[in-house]
Amino acid sequence: MTPAKRAANGAAMALALGLAAAHVLAKVEARPATSDYTYTIQRGDTLSVFARAFLAGPAATRAVQRLNHIANPRRMATGKVLHIPRALLRDAPTQASVASFAGPVTLAEHGQSLPAHTGLMLGEGAEIATGRNAFVTLRLSDGSAVSLPSQSRLRLARLRRVLLTGSIERDLMLEQGRVESRVTPMHDANSNFRVTTPITVSAVRGTRFRVAYRPESASAALSVVEGQVAVAHGIDDAPAPPAPTLAPAGFGIASTPRGDSGPLALLPAPALLNPGKVQTAEELHFALGPLPGAQSYHVQLAHDAGALDVLAEATAATPDFTLPSVPAGSYFLRVTALDDHGLEGLPDTFSFERLRNGIAASAAASGTGHERRYRFAWASMADDTPHFRFRLLRQGGDTPPLVDEAGLTGTSLTLTNLPPGEYAWQVASLVFAHGRPIEDWTPPQRLHIFAEH
């Protein structure tokens, strides 16, 4: 007979109280939660049957019997509530899978390097590191997602499931860089999700938040996008660990070995200028509106609106960005601003279309007199089959173009008998994105024609 599962009592933030026990956080190891679990005895339950299913061996069975004053383990009173310390319960390992990655991502488990690929399963103790312009997102057993941008290092310190209740325990150790977590809400009071750095522990019950750690300055930064996060600060020589601090959505906490800032309001997301612009140049160019209080700006280019599948990112002191070329398609740009505490502000996400439509052109002359020819040639870098438009204007005065040819499919045009004078000419490449015309002109080029003597 399978005993009925029963969650332990406690408020939603009860696990925050257990954070204070994790005092010397510079040496955090995987450890179970310290709160007790409860189980209500059902008709026909015996301690031996219960122990085989849910307790961690004979010593744990004897401890449960002693702690709960069970005189006869073969006959337990129906309805009696057992109190069981977490350390006495059996658990099973869970895993994380690689949902997406890009660039040089290093994975290791039990000292063995693993080749990165989508769907790769990683267990407790696995180490993940991202190189320059590299990204990886892990999916946990309950659907939670953990994303590491470039130049970051993370260890899966603990991934467990308690057999009695199905409670899940996740401890992630951020050793360098940044991690963003989107945690599926936990309805079991004994489940937990913690991100630790050498100086902080951030614990949640279902939320979206970012943690950053800089080893060179031994500083940490927490930014809460949704929900609330309990943060405990570890100070090695403190007589007692300080109480956890709650940071609600829209706030962050900056920490150093001397203490933390307390909750600070996060910067709003900066605006993307010209958000409907189709990106047609070889490289991608984005401009953000300046934001008061911003010390730097951060952008991420992704396949998805949630930025789980990131392709590139950049951080700069000015709100202008150039990102590398990507194939034609629909993409998303996520933008944030960082304040003088190093706290990354609230994000905003913009969709945009990518369709290269670059064009380069040149002119050459041949022949003499009435046979003098002017050949205008161009080359397209469009992702689609373009049509071209050629325009030639005489400089000076407000006169219509001498030549204005649209719908061209070739890549050159030859003109003869042009009278002496100064001209300006341009070529446009025209393509369509979702039925919308996208026209890209070359810069105006000058042409001088002198009278022959």
Q: Dihedrals φ, ψ of 268, to 5°?
A: -70, 170
210 beta partners: 180, 223
How much is the pLDDT for 28? 31
The segment(s) of the chain belonging to CATH 2.60.120.1440 are: 91-265
Long-range contacts of 167-173 (CB under 8 A, 24+ apart): 167/7, 167/37, 167/191, 168/94, 168/141, 168/142, 168/192, 169/32, 169/33, 169/91, 170/140, 170/144, 170/194, 171/28, 171/30, 171/31, 171/196, 172/146, 172/196, 173/28, 173/197
How much is the pLDDT for 23? 30
Contacts of 356 (CB under 8 A, 6+ apart): 280, 281, 282, 325, 328, 381, 382, 383
Contacts of 57 (CB under 8 A, 6+ apart): none
Of 54, 35, 303, give the one whose Cα is nearest residue 190. Answer: 35
Q: Dihedrals φ, ψ of 398, to 5°?
A: -100, 80
Of 320, 273, 323, give the one whose Cα is nearest residue 296. Answer: 320
CATH topology of domain 359-449: Immunoglobulin-like (2.60.40)
**CA distances from residue 156 to 76, 144, 147 in whole angstroms, order as listed:** 40, 14, 13
Query: d(Cα 41, Cα 291) in Å, to the nearest integer?
Result: 60
Identify the CATH homologous superfamily for domain 14-88: LysM domain (3.10.350.10)
Six token digits for residue 149: 């941008």
The segment(s) of the chain belonging to CATH 2.60.40.10 are: 284-354, 359-449
CB 221 within 8 A of CB 202: no
**CA distances from residue 72 to 47, 161, 185 in whole angstroms, order as listed:** 9, 30, 40
CB 363 within 8 A of CB 447: yes
Show the 3-state SS of 134-184.
CEEEEECCCCCEEEECCCCEEEEEEEEEECCCCCEEEEEEEEEEEEEEECC
Query: d(Cα 418, Cα 372) in Å, to the nearest integer?
Result: 9
Q: Dihedrals φ, ψ of 255, to 5°?
A: -125, 145
CATH topology of domain 91-265: Jelly Rolls (2.60.120)
The segment(s) of the chain belonging to CATH 3.10.350.10 are: 14-88
How much is the pLDDT for 27? 30
CATH number for the domain running over 284-354: 2.60.40.10
How much is the pLDDT for 445? 94
Count Cβ neighbours within 10 Å for each residue of 299-321 and write b for 16 or more, e otherwise. Answer: bbbbbeebbbbbbbbbeeeebeb
Q: Dihedrals φ, ψ of 62, to 5°?
A: -65, -35
Q: Which pTM value belongs to this model?
A: 0.80
Under-50 pLDDT residues of the chain? 1-33, 235-238
How much is the pLDDT for 25? 29
CB 152 within 8 A of CB 173: no
Q: Dihedrals φ, ψ of 388, to 5°?
A: -125, 155
How much is the pLDDT for 417? 84
- DSSP secondary structure, 172-240, as one string: EEEEEEEEEEEPPP--STT-EEEEE-SSEEEEESS-EEEEEEETTTTEEEEEEEESEEEEEE--TT-SS
